[in-house]
Amino acid sequence: MKISWKNIIRLTLLVLCGAALGINIYLANAGRLVGNQLPMPFGYGAAVVLSGSMEPELSKGDLIVVGEQEAYQMDDIVVFQDGNSLIVHRIIDITDDAITTRGDANNTADNPIHPSDIKGKVLFWIPFIGTLINFIKTPIGTLCLIALAILLVELPRQKEKKKDDEARQKIIDEINRLKEQN
């Protein structure tokens, strides 16, 4: 197999689709089997904002990247798990054994939480990408991703095969023509 840019791009896209599927399976298992809604391998995780409680800073559908921290400070936007839900709110008060948070768009503060309940601090976010990620997490989204991977691999391969078959047929035709001349 010759190495070309087409093959490299095709392979890269296939690896990315496979990685997305693998991550999807990992996250589903972490959430359903273990109850951990935000797995943080290597101290980092990603989540999608599901409500408008942090408007205008964060919007519904934003993808947030969260990192574990040694300590948290006032005004940090943090993520903590409340039952089976993740909450993304800003720290408004810190005492020795409790942290109080509130969504920027909310009028009331949340119940105080222990610092160990915090998963991490929001390091950065990418607007609207979370909507696409949530779609990929659905069964139909996963099927679309698999179909896309197959199309990315098979369609170009079929075109190359057709070209190779045509070239092979031309060679066979030329061989047959030369045999008839002899």
Residue-wise pLDDT tens digits, 123-177: 999 898 888 878 877 888 878 878 887 787 777 778 888 888 888 999 998 888 8
Position 12: which residue type?
A: T
Residues 67 and 142 in one domain: no
How many structural domains does the chain have?
Answer: 2
Mean pLDDT of 63-71: 90
CA distance 137 to 90: 27
Look up residue 113 and give its DSSP letter: B
Same domain, 53 and 27: no
74 alpha carbon, distance to own chain's centre = 29
Residue 39: pLDDT over 90: no
Instruction: Kindly tell me if the per-residue pLDDT of 35 is higher than 70.
Output: no
**Are 14 and 59 in the same domain?**
no
CA–CA dist 64, 2 (Å, integer): 40
Q: How much is the pTM?
A: 0.65
| Residue 105 belongs to a domain | yes
**Lowest mean per-residue pLDDT among 6-15, 53-62, 68-77, 157-166:** 6-15
Do residues 111 and 145 both lie within one domain?
no
In Å, how far are 71, 93, 126, 146, 170 from 90, measured between CA atoms? Answer: 14, 9, 18, 38, 70
Are residues 140 and 74 both part of a single domain?
no
Q: In this structure, are 118 and 47 located in the same domain?
A: yes
Q: Is 173 domain-assigned?
A: no
In a domain, 62, yes or no: yes
Residues 115 and 41 in one domain: yes
Q: Domain of 111? A: 37-127
How confident is the model over 74-120, as pLDDT tens digits?
999 999 988 778 899 999 999 988 999 999 999 999 999 988 889 99
Residues with Cβ within 8 Å of 43's Cβ and at least 6 positions away in sequence, in order, are 67, 68, 120
8 and 29 together in one domain: yes
Instruction: Determine the pLDDT at residue 24.
Output: 65
54 lies in the same domain as 98: yes
For residue 67, is pLDDT > 80?
yes
Same domain, 148 and 161: yes
Same domain, 19 and 30: yes
CATH number of the domain residue 68 falls in: 2.10.109.10
- Catalytic residue annotation: 51
